Structure 1
Amino acid sequence: MKAFCFDVFGTVVDWRTGVAREASEFFSRHQLAGIDPYDFADAWRNLYQPAMEACRSGKRPFTRLDILHRENLEIVLRKYDVNPDKLDDDALAQLNSAWHRLDPWPDVVTGLTQLKRNHIIAPASNGNIALMVNMAKRAGIPWDAILGAEVTQAYKPSPPAYTRMVEILGFEPQEVCMVAAHNNDLHAARQCGLATAFVARKSEHGVHQTTDLEPSEDWDFVVRDFNELADRVLSSN
């Protein structure tokens, strides 16, 4: 194994808490009462896959995630009877960039730092380059490279999202391990010949989460967190 590539939203960072935190500040600043920030974060995230599917299916050209997030933000605001046209554009841009300021799970930086000693580590995210760079700089995430949809021009789980990433790294598929908290992401990576590692994030969707609580297949690694992944990988070298 020469490289480990990581899903980011949910696997590396706690998107729900971070988006809810910034939404709460936005609502307070604009005196928008009665909107639960966690419900708002969930509603915004629920538009994530449909927006990317339009690109995957060819209904629209590849469009970077910051733009899709902004379009979805305006849709969600209207669902909560908030007219985005009556809000300051800079304030909307600041809320949209909440995805750039998400906090990593507690084990992430220490685990990645260990893994980085002998392996290449990079995001394999649907997030665009600016988003990934800003997130990493703020949180101290020690990536060796920034990979993902804007580099491969493909959104997971489309096969090119994995195969082009492997090609860019200059490795064979079996030399790259996809790490994710989502079984469908790992299934798609495995279909492309990559190794796989499952890390459960049982509170990604809150305390009532029902999905991805356990591995659905016999992934190459099944671990509690990034520290355990690093320990197992380094001990096998």
Structure 2
Amino acid sequence: MNDAQAPIVPAVEVLAFDIFGTVVDWHGSIVRELGRRYPQVDGDAFALAWRAGYKPAMVRVMSGELGWTLIDDLHRMILDAILPQFGLERLGEEERRELNRVWHRLDPWPDAVAGLQRLKRKYLLCTLSNGNLGLLTRMAKRAGLPWDCVLSAEVFRAYKPDPATYLGVARVFDVPPDRVMLVAAHHDDLAAARACGLRTAYVVRPLEFGPAHPKDVAPQAGNDLHSRDLLHLADLLDC
């Protein structure tokens, strides 16, 4: 997969972006915030433990064990559960609430804003994240992320990889699924989108889980594009 593949996606109108890990650096942002607030805590371990609770919490919602629950609330449940592991069980309600809001303050990857600005010249840009609307909107405001539209699992009341999320983007913009391209740094997300008829672009984020935990970012068959970052994706899409 390389630059020569760009002509295969001429009909795409909408680029829908996964957010956590793809557009913003959740791990590095949490580590930096922990370093400022609680320097005695291992920020790397804390960030990984918090993120590790993410999928199990969503499974509880998807299975019906929990009713529909916003990611902000799931993050808070996970936070409350892990605080004792890191000697922070004495944090009061206001401190817990403010720490939980770190997910609203995640920093973009260095290429993200400039890459999105270039892509926006040619495509409609929207989020497609399990993050809730308030979280995504505050994040965009702070980081200068130039979305045309903020879409969330909250809109569809379903978490990715439920087909309702991917097909929901096509429905919102009144286009066939193959005119939407999901942009993500996670192959499972892209595979689920592809099963719904969307186009897919992989973004390499080898340090998503921090420099001590590099991940495999090798190309996988099926994706239309494989990009080094969002600036490279803009190159591939002639923006």
The two structures have a TM-score, normalised by structure 1, of 0.92
Match of 2:47 among 41, 47, 53: 41
SS at match of 1:141: coil
Amino acid at match of 1:54: R
> Where does residue 9 of structure 2 map in the other structure?
none
> Where does residue 73 of structure 1 map in the other structure?
79
CA distance in 2 between counterparts of 1:136 and 1:119 reads 18
CA distance in 2 between counterparts of 1:141 and 1:91 reads 27
Q: Which runs of 5+ in 1 are unaligned?
A: none
SS at match of 1:196: strand
Deviations 1:68-112 (A, max 9, x none): 0011000010223432xx322111111000011111111111111
SS at match of 2:226: strand
Amino acid at match of 2:21: G
CA distance in 1 between counterparts of 2:219 and 2:230 reads 16
Q: CA RMSD in A?
A: 1.4
SS at match of 1:19: helix
* TM-fit CA distance, 1:165: 2.2
> Where does residue 3 of structure 1 map in the other structure?
14
Tell me the matched-pair count. Answer: 228
> Where does residue 18 of structure 1 map in the other structure?
29
User: Given the alignment of the two structures, is residue 123 of structure 1 paired with residue 134 of structure 2, yes or no?
Assistant: no
* TM-fit CA distance, 1:191: 0.4
* TM-fit CA distance, 1:3: 0.3
* TM-fit CA distance, 1:221: 0.8
Match of 1:175 among 173, 179, 182: 179
> Where does residue 4 of structure 2 map in the other structure?
none
> Where does residue 7 of structure 2 map in the other structure?
none
Amino acid at match of 1:135: M
Match of 1:204 among 201, 208, 217: 208
SS at match of 1:137: helix
List structure 1 segments (4+ residues) > 4 angstroms apart after TM superposition. none
* TM-fit CA distance, 1:25: 2.5
Match of 2:61 among 31, 35, 55: 55
User: Given the alignment of the two structures, is residue 217 of structure 1 paired with residue 221 of structure 2, yes or no?
Assistant: yes
CA distance in 1 between counterparts of 2:95 and 2:203 reads 35
User: Given the alignment of the two structures, is residue 155 of structure 1 paired with residue 159 of structure 2, yes or no?
Assistant: yes
